[in-house]
């Protein structure tokens, strides 16, 4: 055809070219109309495809964008190239890009998972166990177990640099064990005080210093007392008269002034009153207090000396307030003294004092050592381990994993693939180096036991910045039913 057209006259060739151009224009118009109809027909169905394309583009931009470098110890130091932190001098580490959430992920949690609770979008301390709205009509945000707090994503290199270690929460019976300190003390039940009951002067003091050992019946001192001499003379006069009532009354007076019955019998045999009365040791032991000296004047209100038996000793254990609830009489105790390395003394708690110390916030428990060895001395420092009966099974974690603050207790949970999230928990009783978790954590979950404070501070920083961004980009108001707890006549706002 083209060959024939080339031999046609010029006028015919122009007409043919115009004809073919018109045919092509009609075909192009038909094709454009068909594409428009197909686009109009399939527009809504192709929206997911467009969204997926946008998502891939955003993910590609995150993965292939400019890298960011941050200081492991100072998260606010951020650079776009490798270097050193100007504050601590540590090498900056590369921050791995966070993957963009899939379409619809922001609207809800993982498939089939129920929310743990709902929290206010601007105040995480305001929570609710069920969906609700605040007084301004803002919907509470659901919080799921897999994302109960702001997540932190770090690379394996950063995990290794900051020394992050994790340990699984386990269900076990609460081992009630408390390790504390105490001191050795005298058994106060074996103390006896020597105190004259009449005024007089000390003569012939046989005990000169605290710490001296005395035997029962040993002479301690002689007291010269005119009052005692007068009482003795009255007793002798009653004996000469022979009046039984006077004899009994004078004998009772001697007994009231501190003279024993044997002294009264010796006085009756001798028939001579003496103003010098000897005082003997009532028990064997050691002098722990000496308040008189040779020639000193004493009165009935004054203490002369105190003697303590050495048969048994006490160990006073200072039990921390957090572990004092289960300590009771009969609790087994193991006692070790730094002055006697390698030796262990076994005993049991005999008495728990009813009052807590305000200064040390500890509760005192008394342990009796029946046989005091030669190496034990009062006021020695002791390391005491108290072992009680096992409690009910509970979720247990290391005590180092628990982050205590003034308002709540938290742990940092390892979610896998370098993701970490803080979680609010309810802590129970402590036992040794472990603590029970009553709510907020399940058995088998990995908690961070080293490096958790840095991760928790980073998560709190991100959560604070997220709340600031949310407040600055509040979405416009939408129509809907008024909030259930909103005041009457109040307009709903989001």
Q: What is the pLDDT of residues 266-297, one digit of tens each?
A: 888 888 888 888 888 999 999 999 999 999 99
**What pLDDT score does 183 carry?**
94
Q: Provide DSSP, 176-240.
A: -EEEEEEEEEE-GGGEEEE--SS-EEEES----STT-EE-TT-EEEEEE-HHHHHHHHHHHHHHH
Span between the terminal Cα atoms of the chain, in Å: 72
Q: How many CA atoms lie within 13 A of 183 on its CB side?
A: 5
CB atoms within 10 A of CB 359: 5
pLDDT value at position 89? 84
In the chain, domain spans = 153-173+393-460, 177-187+311-387, 197-308
Query: Rounded to the nearest 5 degrees, what angle is found at the Cα of 274, between the Cα atoms of 218 and 223?
Result: 45
CATH number given to 153-173+393-460: 2.40.420.20
Domain 177-187+311-387 has CATH 2.40.440.10: no
| CB distance 400 to 166 below 8 Å | no
Within this chain, domains 177-187+311-387 and 197-308 share the same CATH topology: no
Structurally, what CATH architecture does the domain formed by 197-308 represent? Beta Barrel (2.40)
Least confident residue range of 266-280, 443-457, 480-494: 480-494
| H or E element, residue 419 | strand 419-431
pTM for the structure as a whole: 0.52
What are the distances in angstroms from CA 155 to CA 343, 420, 465? 50, 11, 21
pLDDT exceeds cutoff 50 at 184: yes
Given a cut of 50, whether residue 87 has pLDDT beyond it is: yes
Q: pLDDT tens digits, residue range 209-260?
A: 999 999 998 999 999 999 988 888 888 888 888 888 888 888 888 888 888 7
- State the chain's mean pLDDT as an integer: 76
């Amino acid at each position: 055809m083209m060959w024939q057209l080339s031999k046609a006259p010029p006028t015919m060739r122009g007409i043919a070219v115009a004809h073919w151009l018109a045919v092509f224009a009609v075909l192009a118009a038909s094709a454009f109309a068909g594409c428009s109809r197909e686009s109009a027909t399939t527009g809504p169905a192709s929206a997911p495809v467009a969204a997926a394309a946008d998502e891939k583009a955003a993910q590609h931009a995150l993965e292939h964008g400019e890298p960011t470098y941050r200081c492991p110890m100072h998260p606010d130091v951020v650079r776009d190239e490798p270097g050193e932190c100007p504050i601590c001098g540590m090498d900056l580490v590369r921050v791995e890009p966070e993957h963009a959430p899939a379409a619809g992920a922001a609207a809800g949690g993982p498939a089939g998972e129920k929310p743990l609770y709902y929290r206010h979008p601007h105040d995480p301390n305001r929570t609710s166990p069920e969906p609700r709205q605040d007084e301004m009509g803002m919907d509470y945000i659901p919080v799921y177990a897999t994302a109960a707090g702001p997540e932190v994503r770090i690379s394996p290199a950063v995990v290794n640099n900051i020394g992050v270690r994790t340990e699984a929460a386990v269900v076990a019976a609460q081992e009630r064990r408390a390790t504390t300190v105490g001191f050795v003390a005298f058994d106060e039940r074996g103390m006896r005080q020597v105190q004259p009951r009449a005024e007089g002067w000390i003569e012939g003091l046989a005990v000169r210093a605290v710490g001296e050992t005395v035997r029962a019946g040993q002479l301690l001192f002689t007291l010269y007392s005119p009052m005692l001499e007068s009482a003795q003379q009255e007793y002798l006069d009653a004996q000469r008269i022979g009046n039984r009532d006077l004899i009994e009354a004078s004998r009772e007076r001697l007994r009231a002034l501190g003279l024993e019955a044997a002294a009264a019998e010796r006085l009756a045999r001798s028939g001579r009153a003496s103003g010098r009365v000897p005082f003997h040791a009532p028990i064997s032991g050691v002098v722990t207090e000496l308040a008189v000296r040779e020639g000193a004047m004493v009165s009935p209100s004054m203490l002369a000396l105190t003697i303590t038996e050495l048969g048994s000793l006490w160990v006073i254990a200072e039990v921390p307030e957090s572990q004092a609830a289960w300590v009771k009489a009969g609790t087994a105790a193991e006692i070790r003294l730094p002055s006697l390395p390698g030796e262990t003394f076994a005993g049991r708690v005999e008495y728990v004092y009813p009052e807590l110390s305000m200064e040390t916030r500890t509760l005192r428990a008394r342990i009796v050592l029946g046989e005091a060895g030669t190496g034990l001395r009062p006021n020695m420092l002791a390391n005491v381990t108290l072992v009680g009966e096992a409690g009910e099974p509970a979720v247990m974690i290391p005590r180092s994993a628990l982050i205590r603050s003034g308002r709540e207790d938290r742990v940092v949970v390892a979610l896998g693939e370098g993701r970490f999230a803080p979680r609010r928990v309810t802590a129970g009783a402590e036992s040794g180096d472990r603590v029970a978790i009553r709510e907020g954590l399940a058995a088998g979950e990995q908690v961070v036991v080293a490096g958790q404070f840095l991760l928790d501070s980073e998560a709190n920083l991100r959560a604070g910045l997220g709340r600031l961004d949310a407040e600055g980009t509040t979405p416009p108001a939408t129509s809907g039913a008024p909030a259930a707890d909103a005041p009457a006549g109040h307009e709903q706002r989001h």
